[in-house]
A and B are shown apart, each in its own frame.
Chain A
């Protein structure tokens, strides 16, 4: 803690590293898309840094093998090429380079922090403080690269420089924060914040956020730097950069804001480059505390406990933050507190400074958090300890520092990509210098892996659309509320919890130089509050799922910070939240609890994991399907042969991977050639049969990474798969790229292209192909890399490691399990959703019940035998037979009457005319009556005749049928009125048809309202009446019309049986187009005609429309009260899928006593329809009143309960038109003046 000591150390540093580092700006670009130029810079910087380190090493005998210059160089090379066999682990690249040089001391800090936010965030920060020359202090913090989904990243770099003497310590803080946020829809944000230089008094802090894609995220970067100089001049700078609240709405938006800070004048320039608007919002630069005092300036990084990087002890590297904290004498429980401590220690050591910065960076946080998690079970619980690097020893000096700094990244890496479980592992590694070297190397290499992961994340996220939020607040303190821009998903989650505590911490921490960490109590409080949230059953179940998943992840060696894990947790949380009726945040607590529980269970080792996953492997022949399966189980389950088709038939194997039950289905290889697709189909069909009983949870589609199918050569294959299994097979598919250790091909300029670029491109190609094959452009299958080669590099645990540092197997399995888990969760939630009983059938698919009901309610005549064709009408018409005789004679008895010609009419006087007309009317009426009578009589004769014929012996029947049979079926002649003159355009002239004696009556359907020059005949109508068994009439009529747009079909078959007295049952089958689909209706109706005045009918119908079946029931009653009044009432209901429509109708008719002759007729109709609670009532009334001798007035009105209605009047007149006009016009006008109903009139 003593300042003096620190200073001393610093100086030594400075001297050592002087030569190498003079003015260096370290720029790290870890961006995939970043400029090459920048990369170059980086490389150079790295080299230099390394070189310096090496020198230092040489000087320090202590570090023996830390850095070998060659290795370093290679490292850099590897950076570009992304891998050489060289790098042992290219897992994470975290580079802390500290070089403190010259009087003031130069410090380069590179801190790569990968922060996994609540929901997956990974941020890597490189904070590099470059130099302090005399007055000049440059601190550079690069936060290189991060992936955040919807999250907050808080990076705090606290740097303290203590310089003795009059010299001002100016700090240049170069902050590069690259936060790439990968949202559900891939957002990546990368920020480079570069603060460049302070010379003397001048402090420039430049923060460039060069590149970012963020969906909704907040990045808070706080750099607190304190320079304590003893003496008259004190330069204290605290640069707090907060990039807060960056919301980028756009999914793929690339935003590159640049923030430059002058510490004194804090300028924040945010440039958003990129298609998107993303976030300008939020970069706040705050200058924290400036303390002139040379004494320990406490740098407090709120979130991150700045894990006391300053530990003299060499062991510190390995040591967890807590331990470090303890060492400091501070209870390191809270990360924040530890920071403080570290700061103090840092003051003494220049290295500390570096360390501090490192500590500030998130990794440290993680480590601390991990510790916490372990102890507390906090959400923070990053169990793996990254901290190794965090604590630099004063002894270690700059090189050490560097290594340390590097290590955090490494740890992060391992965390994410590799087994987090190995936290201990890492620790162990770190202590050893060599390992540290490796780590650094790896750290440098790491860039790529991260990128890869990022891409991963994005994909996954997309894949798992349905998923839910994980409220893991892994970076508890640090996380500023991430505000999801568009989706609003994370907002509720994050908001309440993190912010407040953070601030409190911020404020508190400063004072706490020490020791006590408030964090814990706070968190505890939070958790309690969170716990207050209601638990419902669903939540419990979800919690179980979550625990299960965490256990899975744990077994696979993944921490909750793994991108996939975090994503799944996030989605689970989201689902829970969406489901939660209170809608409030689902406490971060549930995650804490889950993780604690999972840990317990895992630790206990009991309680077998109830989980199994079935993976089906598909792919071309020779890509390594069987080999992959062997790799998954780590033993040879299936024999493979490089040259022959190893797998001939579908087979499955079960086994346990890390205690997780996994079943894998191996399939024969598919063939890419078009000509082989038939074979493929056969293979796939056998696969389909195989998986029928036991469908796989996951489909793993394998292809080779190193086969660049630049054309769409696999399309046939993919299409075939889609055809056989249906496109839905791709929904749960993971793309596996085998031979992942292959070196990427040379780029266009002859240099090797980056591995990650290669992987990304290759996976894009396949994903795109799958999308096309599945016909769903939204698909985004996650990609996992696979390497089965026995020569594949392995890490210490014997796991195969890819060139990008990824340990592929856990990743692959994790992806699979994640999909399964999410599917489970979805199933659970769906299940739950249905319980509340909201009928949620897809409404769009619901059949049009009202329509069906109306057609059901319609009363239709029952088919009758030909000879009975006219019977019932007689009855219904209600003519009294008795009256026949009288009236019949009546007309004949009249004296002969001679019609007058027009001329004669003109001569008549008015009264004469009237008499004449009356007389004529009377006669006409009688005549019509007579005609009707005769007609009826003829029919009666017919009937009698037919009956007689039937009685005749069979021998005669032949003749009878010849004459009577066919003739008895009245064939309505098509009434075509031919135009008077020949017109070739007239369809009736152009198309004639014959009226054949065929019993099938086939007629064209003429659409008169067609387009010009249209033929007009758009359909065909066919009818026929059969008689089955001489008793059962079956009528058939069908009509098909087709025009340019759509085709319609209508088909009706009906038959009826009479049984008993007055009872008849009819059965009918209808087929008709409704919308785009065919509706098949089967209906049945029974009539009871027992009473003359009351006829009842009941019917049933079943309709199949599309895939829905609806059933209906109706009752109808016809009341014939008198000769002139009758009424039909009907009511019915139609139901389908729990949806019911009720309807009823009433129709009353009032008519003239002698109906066909009298013209007075009034009908009243009412209809009621109730569907989905909306009641539709409609009524109409129509009345026809004769006016005078030759005119009719028809009035009609209808109205429904929505207020819509229509009134129309119609006047028919056979007299002069003007008269009608005269009568109507005033009325019309009058009506118009009131309101404007629709008025129709004609003659």
Chain B
């Protein structure tokens, strides 16, 4: 898939303020050291949380269509940008929630779209400024898990958009972020059915993102979060860390797309079941029938009839 798409020169990187640019280039240099020529990032999440905006922010140009009130349609968007030999692929996906349901159609589309692609990093996007997690979140997580396997969570990061806001009730910002991300991570853990020890090695990192044009900027004109960090380099850096975190990247192959073939399931049990049936069911049945026959006691009229018949014949 990736090969089909012409990757364009990453011009957008020049849009960033110099400070950001240098940080980004430094990070990209790391890839060069590792001799990795491409990186594929999959962005998923509910609708309207800012997936496309995040993609646009990272790329530095308006690569994915964003509209406030309309969903962008069902098709994933493949954005590929290369710079000095390194290719960054970002796959923006449509929102997974449609009308209160998880949109299975969208997930299937995404899976087909990703056929033969290797996902290095999954960004799960949600909003920071939402207070509650509900069942929908869990459903989305499990839908992703079902689609790509739970291994994918080991290559994932939780992205919280709309990070520039002031928490309610006088809560401390950091505290709020912690609690919000904890709540979401918990949902991810349960939704992905990750065991505790699965998470031991690598916890899912949390990245804060503010895509709005109103995002504060520091003196070097970088977009920063309320805590002062410049979030774009941070995001890329975290992505990089995930890609190098030692876990295997998720390769979407035919098998994953199609899911397990129901015809294959339990095939080996067939002879066993046959044997079981023969030994435990057939045998006793036959045996009991035979014993019945031998122990048969005929009613009087039947005896008479048979007697008559025999006599007549």
Q: Which residues of A contact B (CB under 8 A)?
A: 81, 621-622, 627, 640-645, 669, 671-676, 706-717, 739, 742-748, 750-753, 758, 761-762, 765, 788-791
What are some 5 contacts across the A-B interface (CB < 8 A)?
A: A643-B132, A672-B100, A715-B100, A717-B100, A761-B69
Chain A positions within 8 Å of B213 at CB level: 746, 750-752
Chain A positions within 8 Å of B136 at CB level: 672-673
Chain B positions within 8 Å of A753 at CB level: 68
Chain A binding surface, main DSSP class:
loop
Chain B positions within 8 Å of A645 at CB level: 132
- In the assembled complex, the CB of A788 is this many whole angstroms from the nearest CB of chain B, namely 7
In the complex the two chains form, is B212's CB within 8 Å of A710's CB? Answer: no
B 44-78 binary contact with A (CB < 8 Å = 1; else 0): 00011000010000000010001111110000000
Picked from B48, B166, B180, the residue with its CB within 8 Å of the CB of A710 is B48
Chain B positions within 8 Å of A644 at CB level: 132
Chain A positions within 8 Å of B166 at CB level: 789, 791
- In the assembled complex, the CB of B177 is this many whole angstroms from the nearest CB of chain A, namely 12
- In the assembled complex, the CB of A792 is this many whole angstroms from the nearest CB of chain B, namely 10
B171 at the interface (CB under 8 A from A): yes
Residue of B nearest to A622 (CB): B132
Picked from B69, B101, B179, the residue with its CB within 8 Å of the CB of A765 is B69
Residue of B nearest to A709 (CB): B48
In the complex the two chains form, is A675's CB within 8 Å of B168's CB? Answer: no
In the complex the two chains form, is B183's CB within 8 Å of A745's CB? Answer: no
Report the 10 A-B pairs with minimum CB-CB distance, sorted nearest first: A622-B132, A674-B100, A622-B131, A673-B135, A642-B131, A673-B136, A716-B100, A708-B48, A710-B71, A745-B68
- In the assembled complex, the CB of A982 is this many whole angstroms from the nearest CB of chain B, namely 45
Chain A positions within 8 Å of B62 at CB level: 750
Chain A positions within 8 Å of B66 at CB level: 746, 748
In the complex the two chains form, is A752's CB within 8 Å of B180's CB? Answer: no
B233 at the interface (CB under 8 A from A): no
- In the assembled complex, the CB of A203 is this many whole angstroms from the nearest CB of chain B, namely 45
B 67-109 binary contact with A (CB < 8 Å = 1; else 0): 1111100000000000000000000000101111100000000
Chain A positions within 8 Å of B47 at CB level: 709-711, 713
Picked from B69, B100, B132, B170, the residue with its CB within 8 Å of the CB of A621 is B132
Known contacts A643-B132, A790-B170: A711-B97 contact under CB 8 Å:
yes
In the complex the two chains form, is B69's CB within 8 Å of A673's CB? Answer: no
In the complex the two chains form, is B68's CB within 8 Å of A642's CB? Answer: no
Bound Cα distance A539, B83 (Å): 79
B253 at the interface (CB under 8 A from A): no
Bound Cα distance A745, B53 (Å): 10
Chain B binding surface, main DSSP class:
loop
Interface residues of B in 132-191 (CB under 8 A from A): 132, 134-136, 139, 162, 165-171, 176, 179-180, 183
Additional 9 contacts, C-beta under 8 A, given A673-B139, A674-B100, A713-B100: A642-B168, A642-B171, A673-B136, A676-B135, A709-B48, A710-B95, A711-B99, A743-B212, A752-B214
In the complex the two chains form, is B167's CB within 8 Å of A642's CB? Answer: yes
In the complex the two chains form, is A711's CB within 8 Å of B95's CB? Answer: yes
In the complex the two chains form, is A673's CB within 8 Å of B100's CB? Answer: yes
Known contacts A643-B179, A748-B66: A671-B169 contact under CB 8 Å:
no
B230 at the interface (CB under 8 A from A): no
Bound Cα distance A751, B62 (Å): 12
Chain B positions within 8 Å of A710 at CB level: 47-48, 67-71, 95
- In the assembled complex, the CB of B116 is this many whole angstroms from the nearest CB of chain A, namely 30
In the complex the two chains form, is B134's CB within 8 Å of A673's CB? Answer: yes
Picked from B134, B169, B212, the residue with its CB within 8 Å of the CB of A640 is B169
Known contacts A750-B213, A790-B169: A713-B99 contact under CB 8 Å:
yes
Residue of A nearest to B170 (CB): A790
Bound Cα distance A742, B168 (Å): 12
Bound Cα distance A642, B176 (Å): 9
Bound Cα distance A642, B127 (Å): 14
Bound Cα distance A633, B69 (Å): 33
Chain B positions within 8 Å of A790 at CB level: 168-170
Bound Cα distance A709, B66 (Å): 14
Chain A positions within 8 Å of B100 at CB level: 672-674, 713-717
Picked from A707, A713, A715, A748, the residue with its CB within 8 Å of the CB of B67 is A748
Bound Cα distance A743, B213 (Å): 10
In the complex the two chains form, is B68's CB within 8 Å of A708's CB? Answer: yes
Picked from B99, B132, B169, B180, the residue with its CB within 8 Å of the CB of A669 is B132
Chain A positions within 8 Å of B71 at CB level: 710-711
Chain B positions within 8 Å of A744 at CB level: 68
- In the assembled complex, the CB of B225 is this many whole angstroms from the nearest CB of chain A, namely 15
Chain B positions within 8 Å of A81 at CB level: 214
Chain B positions within 8 Å of A709 at CB level: 47-48
Chain A positions within 8 Å of B180 at CB level: 643
In the complex the two chains form, is A758's CB within 8 Å of B97's CB? Answer: no
- In the assembled complex, the CB of A13 is this many whole angstroms from the nearest CB of chain B, namely 39
Residue of B nearest to A792 (CB): B166
- In the assembled complex, the CB of A679 is this many whole angstroms from the nearest CB of chain B, namely 9
In the complex the two chains form, is A621's CB within 8 Å of B101's CB? Answer: no
Residue of B nearest to A749 (CB): B62
In the complex the two chains form, is A674's CB within 8 Å of B101's CB? Answer: yes
Residue of B nearest to A671 (CB): B134
Residue of A nearest to B176 (CB): A642
Bound Cα distance A848, B129 (Å): 61
B130 at the interface (CB under 8 A from A): yes
Bound Cα distance A752, B214 (Å): 8
Bound Cα distance A675, B139 (Å): 10
Residue of B nearest to A788 (CB): B168
Residue of B53, B70, B95, B132 with most partner-chain A CB within 10 A: B132
Chain A positions within 8 Å of B40 at CB level: none
Picked from A669, A711, A765, A788, the residue with its CB within 8 Å of the CB of B98 is A711
Bound Cα distance A664, B53 (Å): 39
In the complex the two chains form, is A675's CB within 8 Å of B135's CB? Answer: yes
Bound Cα distance A1040, B179 (Å): 66
In the complex the two chains form, is A746's CB within 8 Å of B211's CB? Answer: yes
- In the assembled complex, the CB of A779 is this many whole angstroms from the nearest CB of chain B, namely 20
- In the assembled complex, the CB of B16 is this many whole angstroms from the nearest CB of chain A, namely 15
